[in-house]
Structure 1
């Protein structure tokens, strides 16, 4: 049984989400402030986190940053803030999805199911890919540069795997949305740009002489590798 950690200070909302998720077959853990949420996260190692932005003690942004320091656990942000800047901030800091309040329980369950499907897609493989100092272990899902671990969110890892398995081929945003995010994704293709930006930052120690993720203006993205 997969475990969902809800970090939400409005207890009524948290209880409603818990009921819907338990009905779907998930185990649910609840925290009502950011500090408690981080404690429960480390204790229980959940499969996914529903994280409110406006939290007492430690706000959602700081909770997300703390989680991303040592974990790629999927995170869906919950907030009453509908401004696009807040949405982009969450995605840029490594959130896997974003839901604005008010929402209905069925929507949240659908988003949870979709994020968990995406995080598992394409990861159960048996090969290792190596491009100079960059190594991608497709069994353990580990990415290293010169044997140093590279931390990626599940979605970003799925995108990197897709590109790395098809080096020197160009894909449009629409190609990547369909292949990595899936046909059930109904968000903006801006998510591709943000994911590529995060991957580039994570791979900063990978020498450009060995490879890079290129932007081909008007065409899309390419995982370019260079033969010596």
Structure 2
């Protein structure tokens, strides 16, 4: 399994690299917030160890941006043991929080636990659910209530992205990058076309709309009461 360490302290980075490598993990590192975001999106790590005090983008912003694109487990490190800081990190999407200086054994135990929990969730959660919508990742079957409907490959990928990020506004460019790739050079309105086709299938029997347009930004999967 691959662990990304985002920390600008070379001593901490070297310590974590040695310890995690000894435990059998592949370790990659980044020394700034932007580099960390880029590596997380490119290398697809299984877990991120993220320091808060970073040059450029701080750990808060890195965590916020990663949660717009990824569900990777995030363990935040900070020198400040303030309740407000812990709450802020968890509200931004961090999964756990460790205060410096930390005992290496505790950090390794938390990493093991987070990766084990992530693996269990992955094995048990082969179905994504939101409201009355279910997406089976093995059969690639979609269901709205009791109604089952088929999806094309791209429709499946697009709906899966939304269901992995419920209630989060997904920017149009991010969706294009994730589903069609950075080098896509096809029709500029391809996303709008696929959103329309997805909505047609999701709302075929008059069901309430779940995929909503956020004007000037992108789209979001959410219920409107």
TM-score normalized with structure 1 length: 0.60
Aligned-CA RMSD value = 3.2
Shift of 1:133: 4.0
The match for 1:150 is 163
What are the equivalent positions in structure 2 for 1:15-30 lying under 5 Å apart? 15-30=14-29
Shift of 1:207: 5.3
Shift of 1:130: 6.2
Which of 205, 210, 214 in structure 1 is aligned with 2:222?
Answer: 205
Is the CA contact 1:78–1:98 (under 8 Å) kept in the aligned structure 2?
A: yes
The match for 1:176 is none
Shift of 1:132: 5.8
2-structure distance, mates of 1:144, 1:91: 32
The match for 1:33 is 32
Shift of 1:47: 0.8
Task: Return closer, same or farther for 1:145/1:127 CA change in 2, 3 Å cut-off.
Answer: same
Shift of 1:112: 0.5
The match for 1:166 is none
1:95 corresponds to 2:94: yes
What are the equivalent positions in structure 2 for 1:42-191 lying under 5 Å apart? 42-125=41-124, 128=127, 133-137=132-136, 139=138, 147=159, 149-152=162-165
Match of 2:81, SS state, is coil
Cα-to-partner distance string for 1:23-79 (whole Å, 9 max, x where unaligned):
100011111111121222222111110000110011001111111111101110000
Rg (Cα) greater in structure: 2
- Between the two proteins, the alignment pairs up a number of residues equal to 158
Match of 1:121, SS state, is helix
Cα-to-partner distance string for 1:97-154 (whole Å, 9 max, x where unaligned):
100111021111110010011112243248757676422436499999994713359x
Is the CA contact 2:130–2:163 (under 8 Å) kept in the aligned structure 1?
A: no
Task: Return closer, same or farther for 1:29/1:145 CA change in 2, 3 Å cut-off.
Answer: farther
Tell which deviates more after alignment, 120-129 or 33-42: 120-129
Is the CA contact 1:79–1:99 (under 8 Å) kept in the aligned structure 2?
A: yes
